[in-house]
Amino acid sequence: MNEEIKGRIEKLKKEKDAVILAHYYVDGEVQEIADYVGDSFFLAKKATEIPASVIIFCGVSFMGESAKILNPQKKVVMADQHADCPMAHMIDVDRIREVRRDHPDAAVVCYVNSTAEIKAESDVCVTSSNALKIVKNLPNKEIFFIPDNNLGRYVAKQIPEKKFIFHDGFCHVHKSIHLGEVLKAREAKPNALVLAHPECTEDVLAEADFIGSTSQIIDFATASDQKEFIICTEMGIFYELQLKNPDKKFYSVGHRQFCPNMKRIRLESVVEALENLGPEVELGEKMRLKAALPLQRMLELAK
Ligand code: 13P
Ligand code: SF4
């Protein structure tokens, strides 16, 4: 059955001049049929380098929006229209304007896990793989970091010379990884290294041997001489970890490392997206132009 669907996807891709981008959190079988799989920074950047006229996005809305913002001439189609990241909606424009009024010198640093509307109000975007580097190099001494509180605090800890204003956004998946479970996993696997995504809570990050984006976690585990790892991020990452490291062991820390939005994307939805070339990401041109500035600045500063 899957082989038949995979064959259809290959055929449709050629017919429609489409390329499939997928995030590490989607199901392994979807990662398998994608042309490019990566973290949110890689995918945003890759979207600007693709010659095909159609991008099928296997990820959540903000990722597809970023691809469209940076490539207005392309058709960007979501494999599932309803795959959305709740964190992206945890801040509103009024709050940004309020902080700007009270702190006119602060840079509004926007984690890409945000809507196009929020990006349009921000000075620069960051992802978990480049937030540290970009914030460090900004000329501003004051930073309003939105929307993720955990990533913001993680960055702030390493840049004590800057003053941070935080927001209270969070990822429910990473927040549900509890320190107690991490400690239990460590006890059960004493030789394993703990690798965590910076969206995890501060106490979990304090326990981690390595903190990084999904790509950075994969790269670290792949380069490491160690054979066992406790993984504190969404379970979709296990597919690539195991593919690249068949001789290594990866352990989860419970049963809640599951992003229901990423998991909405099925092979069948990819077929439908290819057949219909929809649902397409559509953005008003005025907002798109405003949202493109912080994203382009990110691509520039991350170099
Ligand atoms: P990455 O930037 O590591 O891909 O993370 C995206 C995300 O949604 C994390 O929950
Ligand atoms: Fe959003 Fe968390 Fe899912 Fe990432 S894992 S898409 S931050 S809900």
Q: Show the tokens assigned to 28.
A: 């392994």
Closest CA to ligand 2's atom 5: 259
Ligand 2 proximity of 22 Cβ (cutoff 6 Å): no
The whole-model pTM stands at 0.96
pLDDT given at position 2:
84
Closest CA to ligand 2's atom 2: 171
Which-ligand-closest: CA of 265? 2
pLDDT given at position 194:
98
Distance between Cα 60 and ligand 2 center (Å): 8
Angle, CA of 139, 144 and 146, to the nearest 5°: 125
Ligand 2 proximity of 26 Cβ (cutoff 6 Å): no
Distance between Cα 15 and ligand 1 center (Å): 31
pLDDT given at position 256:
85
pLDDT given at position 1:
54
Which atom number of ligand 2 is nearest to the Cα of residue 260? 3
Q: Show the tokens assigned to 138.
A: 């900004």
The count of residues in the chain is 303
Among 25, 42, 58, 84, name the best residue to mutate to test ligand 1's pocket (greatest count of ligand atoms within 8 A of Cβ).
25
> One digit per residue, pLDDT tens: the chain, 303 residues?
588 999 999 999 999 999 999 999 999 999 999 999 999 999 999 999 999 999 999 999 999 999 999 999 999 999 999 999 999 999 999 999 999 999 999 999 999 999 999 999 999 999 999 999 999 999 999 999 999 999 999 999 999 999 999 999 999 999 999 999 999 999 999 999 999 999 999 999 999 999 999 999 999 999 999 999 999 999 999 999 999 999 999 999 988 899 999 999 999 999 999 999 999 999 999 999 999 999 999 999 999
What span, in angstroms and rounded, lies between the C-alpha atoms of 67 and 226? 36
Backbone angles phi, psi at 220, to 5 degrees: -65, -50
Q: Show the tokens assigned to 42.
A: 């890689």
Among 62, 89, 113, name the best residue to mutate to test ligand 1's pocket (greatest count of ligand atoms within 8 A of Cβ).
113
Among 197, 220, 240, 256, name the best residue to mutate to test ligand 1's pocket (greatest count of ligand atoms within 8 A of Cβ).
197
Ligand 2 proximity of 87 Cβ (cutoff 6 Å): yes
Output the CA–CA distances (angstroms, integers) from residue 69 to 19, 115, 166, 210, in the order listed: 17, 11, 26, 32
Closest CA to ligand 1's atom 8: 113
> Concatenated DSSP letters for the chain?
-HHHHHHHHHHHHHHHTEEEEEETTS-HHHHHH-SEEE-HHHHHHHHTT--SSEEEEES-HHHHHHHHHH-TTSEEEES-TT---GGGGS--HHHHHHHHHH-TT-EEEEESSS-HHHHTT-SEEE-TTTHHHHHHHSS-SEEEEESBHHHHHHHHHH-TTSEEEE--B--HHHHTS-HHHHHHHHHH-TTPEEEE-TTS-HHHHHH-SEE--HHHHHHHHHH-S--EEEEES-TTHHHHHHHH-TTSEEE-SSS----TTGGG--HHHHHHHHHHT-SBP---HHHHHHHHHHHHHHHHHT-
Distance between Cα 199 and ligand 2 center (Å): 9
Which atom number of ligand 2 is nearest to the Cα of residue 171? 2
Q: Which residue is it, tokens 């989860």?
A: 252
